[in-house]
Amino acid sequence: MIKLKNINKLYGFNHNNKKAVKMVKEKTNIVDNNKQEQLTMIDNIVIGTSEIANKRILLTKMIVNTVELGKVILKYKDKITGLERTFKNINKITNADVRGFVDCYKTYLGVETDPTWDNKTDTGKERLRILKDSFWVALPTIKNGCLQKNKAGKELTGNKNSQVFVDGEFAKKYSPNPQHSLGTDQVTMKFSELKKASQNYLNDKSTDLSSDENASKDNSFVSSIKKLTRTINASKDDLVLKKEQAGTEQAIKQLELACVKWTTEFNLVKQSEMTPEQVARLKRA
């Protein structure tokens, strides 16, 4: 007859198993939380109307930390050559590379088959655009290793963690902020500054990572207009006067007035760059 303790030994059970399982679960939760935080941050940027800059810098720092800690290896298979491209082994980057690395990162986040991340949908396109935008900033900083902690061990600073600590030498050479050229050991940068500095780094052909292509333009204003248009159209389709909240009509009228003023100003600016002949032809049209 097999004793109970021998059965436990045979099948690998012992008094420490519960503790081991608990540790595995806790470790898994930490990993999952890291992914979920990034997905939540992306969604917050998609739907957010304020504090976008600090959310972008937080997302970028999360991506940098994830890659530097080895949680994901950025690589993809080139569809044209059939060869594998690994971020660690390249010193020149293209838009195709960024798309490939973003697809790789989508797999890490576990959303590669999520329909809300499909690039054929509006929300999918917006999520991918946000991720690509952060990747264009993150990749040069990973290659250069310019993001730092301060003496207190903090990675972020500023109002609602809207700035990162950056190596002073990197900032002196690539930052668009004149104050960063003073030669201090460490500076702080907002997302817009870090984005421009990263692009300047990529434009420098002597660096460890260069590019002949530009990062995607900041189309946040256009994206906001498109999102608002979709919202208004959806509301129009279900328009029931009694269900409309107080002030909705007035808000729409104010928006209409703002659009008219914007269009008028846009046309004035456009005409100011035209030749007299072009202006005359425009007026005759």
Q: Among the listed ranges 10-24, 116-130, 163-177, 249-263, which one has the minimum average pLDDT value? A: 10-24
**Strand pairing category for 75-77 and 163-167:** unpaired
Q: CA-CA distance, 70 to 66, in Å (whole number)?
A: 7
| CB contact at 8 A, 177 and 238 | no
Structure tokens at 15: 């008094």
> What confidence score (pLDDT) does residue 237 get?
63
Q: Summarize the confidence of residues 237-252 as an average pLDDT.
A: 69
Q: pLDDT tens for residues 35-44?
A: 999 999 999 8
Which carries the bigger pLDDT value, residue 6 or residue 202?
202
> What confidence score (pLDDT) does residue 68 get?
96
Q: CA-CA distance, 186 to 117, in Å (whole number)?
A: 37
Which carries the bigger pLDDT value, residue 251 or residue 185?
185
Residue 259 Cα distances to 14, 179, 233, 249, angstroms: 71, 37, 16, 15
- pLDDT bracket for residue 268 (50, 70, 90): confident
> What confidence score (pLDDT) does residue 9 get?
43
Percentage of the chain lying above the pLDDT 70 cut: 79
The DSSP line for 61-106 is HHHHHHHHTTS---EEE-TTT--EEEGGG-SB--HHHHHHHHHHHH
Q: Summarize the confidence of residues 104-128 as an average pLDDT.
A: 93
| CB contact at 8 A, 97 and 132 | no
Q: pLDDT tens for residues 210-240?
A: 998 766 454 556 767 877 887 787 776 666 6
Q: CA-CA distance, 9 to 74, in Å (whole number)?
A: 42
> What confidence score (pLDDT) does residue 220 get?
58
pTM greater than 0.85: no
Which carries the bigger pLDDT value, residue 50 or residue 193?
193
**Strand pairing category for 186-189 and 163-167:** antiparallel
> What confidence score (pLDDT) does residue 215 get?
62
Mean residue pLDDT across the chain: 83
